[in-house]
C-alpha cells in the first residue's frame, strides 16, 4: 500500500495510530510535506536507524550468532543492503569468502566502497543470471529480505537453494507479523523508507508480511529447522508500541 493511501485512508490511519507512540507524526492533516514528517519520524527513538550501519550491525548479528556461532566459510548475503551486516558476520565467523547481492545499485556501490575485501553484486538473487553465486556457498543469509519477495520469487529462491551443491545452512531473520496491526504498521514504516530514503525502492517495493509459523513452513521445505529464537517482544509504553520490530532468527540445515 502506498504511503499516501496509508495516511489518507481514515480507517487504516486510525488502526495505525493505535500502534505508534507518536501518532501526531503520521497525522495527514498536519501541514507537513511527507519528507518533513518522515524526518520527524526518524528522530524518534524506534526509527532512528532503519538502515544498516556498522554499529547497528553489531547489535543485529547477536541473535544470528546465537543460532549459528561457528562454521560458515563461504557465505552469500541476499538483500545485503550496505554490506555492514555481512561484514559483521564475516569477521565473527572468519570466512574465506563473502558475497552480498542486492537489487539496488546505490547500496551495492556503497557496500563495495566500504568493504573492498568482499564481493557485491547488483542483481535479483532469484533471477537466472544470479545462479553462479550459489555454486560454492555453504551458508546463505536471508535477513529481512524474504518479505520483499513475491511468492514466485520465493519459490525460485527455494528451488535454487535446494539445488545449491555445497549449501549447508540457511540463516533467516524475519518479522513475526502475528496480527493485522503489525502488518499495517510495518507497511507505513516501509512506505516512509521507500519514499524518502531510496526512490528505487519505491519502484520495486513489495512486502508480504507473515507470521513466524508461516516462515517456518517455508523454511521447512528447504531442510530441517534446527534452531529458532523467540520473537523479541515489542516494547510497550502507555499502551502504545515504541519498538516496531518484532523479529526472530531461524537456522535451517539444508544438508540432504
Residues found near ligand SAM in the complex (CB under 6 A): 52, 78-81, 85, 101-104, 107, 124-126, 143-145, 148-149, 153
Q: For ligand SAM, which is the closer residue by CB, 13 or 171?
A: 171
Q: For ligand SAM, which is the closer residue by CB, 78 or 250?
A: 78
Q: For ligand SAM, which is the closer residue by CB, 149 or 192?
A: 149
Q: For ligand SAM, which is the closer residue by CB, 21 or 103?
A: 103
User: CB within 8 A of 128, min separation 6: which ones?
Assistant: none
In the complex, minimum distance from the CB of residue 131 to ligand SAM, in angstroms, rounded to a whole number: 13
CB-closest chain residue to ligand SAM = 79
What are 11's three cell numbers?
Answer: 480507517
In the complex, minimum distance from the CB of residue 227 to ligand SAM, in angstroms, rounded to a whole number: 18
In the complex, minimum distance from the CB of residue 204 to ligand SAM, in angstroms, rounded to a whole number: 7
Q: Is there a contact between 212 and 232 (Cβ–Cβ < 8 Å)? A: no
* CA 172/CA 228 separation, integer angstroms: 9
Q: What is the CA radius of gyration of the chain?
A: 18
The DSSP bridge pattern shows strands 169-175 and 240-241 to be unpaired
Give the three-state DSSP class for 41: helix
In the complex, minimum distance from the CB of residue 81 to ligand SAM, in angstroms, rounded to a whole number: 4
Q: For ligand SAM, which is the closer residue by CB, 13 or 76?
A: 76
In the complex, minimum distance from the CB of residue 193 to ligand SAM, in angstroms, rounded to a whole number: 8
Closest by CA to 28, choosing from 19, 42, 16, is: 16
Q: For ligand SAM, which is the closer residue by CB, 153 or 232?
A: 153
In the complex, minimum distance from the CB of residue 146 to ligand SAM, in angstroms, rounded to a whole number: 9
- Taking phi over 0 as left and psi of -120 to 50 as alpha, with beta for the rest, 71 belongs to left
* CA 73/CA 136 separation, integer angstroms: 10
* CA 220/CA 222 separation, integer angstroms: 5
Amino acid at each position: 500500500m502506498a504511503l499516501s493511501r496509508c495516511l489518507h485512508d481514515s480507517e487504516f490511519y486510525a488502526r495505525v495510530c493505535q500502534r505508534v507512540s507518536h501518532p501526531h507524526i503520521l497525522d495527514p492533516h498536519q501541514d507537513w510535506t511527507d519528507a518533513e514528517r518522515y524526518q520527524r519520524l526518524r528522530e524518534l527513538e524506534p526509527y532512528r536507524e532503519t538502515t544498516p550501519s556498522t554499529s547497528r550491525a553489531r547489535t543485529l548479528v547477536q541473535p544470528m550468532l546465537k543460532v549459528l556461532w561457528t562454521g560458515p566459510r563461504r557465505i552469500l548475503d541476499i538483500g545485503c543492503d550496505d554490506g555492514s551486516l555481512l561484514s559483521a558476520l564475516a569477521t565473527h565467523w572468519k570466512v574465506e569468502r563473502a558475497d552480498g547481492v542486492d537489487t539496488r545499485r546505490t547500496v551495492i556501490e556503497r557496500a563495495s566502497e566500504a568493504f573492498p575485501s568482499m564481493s557485491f553484486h547488483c542483481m535479483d538473487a532469484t533471477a537466472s543470471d544470479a545462479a553462479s553465486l550459489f555454486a560454492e556457498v555453504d551458508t546463505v543469509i536471508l535477513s529481512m529480505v524474504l518479505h520483499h519477495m513475491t511468492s514466485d520469487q520465493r519459490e525460485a529462491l527455494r528451488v535454487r537453494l535446494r539445488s545449491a551443491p555445497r549449501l549447508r545452512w540457511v540463516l533467516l531473520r524475519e518479522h513475526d507479523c502475528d496480527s493485522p496491526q503489525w502488518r499495517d504498521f510495518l507497511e507505513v514504516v516501509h512506505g516512509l523508507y521507500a519514499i524518502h530514503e531510496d526512490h528505487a525502492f519505491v519502484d520495486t517495493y513489495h512486502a508480504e508480511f507473515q507470521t513466524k509459523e508461516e516462515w517456518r513452513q517455508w523454511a521447512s521445505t528447504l531442510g530441517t529447522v534446527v534452531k529458532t529464537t523467540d520473537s523479541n517482544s515489542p516494547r510497550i509504553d502507555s499502551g502504545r508500541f515504541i519498538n516496531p520490530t518484532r523479529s526472530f532468527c531461524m537456522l535451517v540445515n539444508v544438508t540432504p
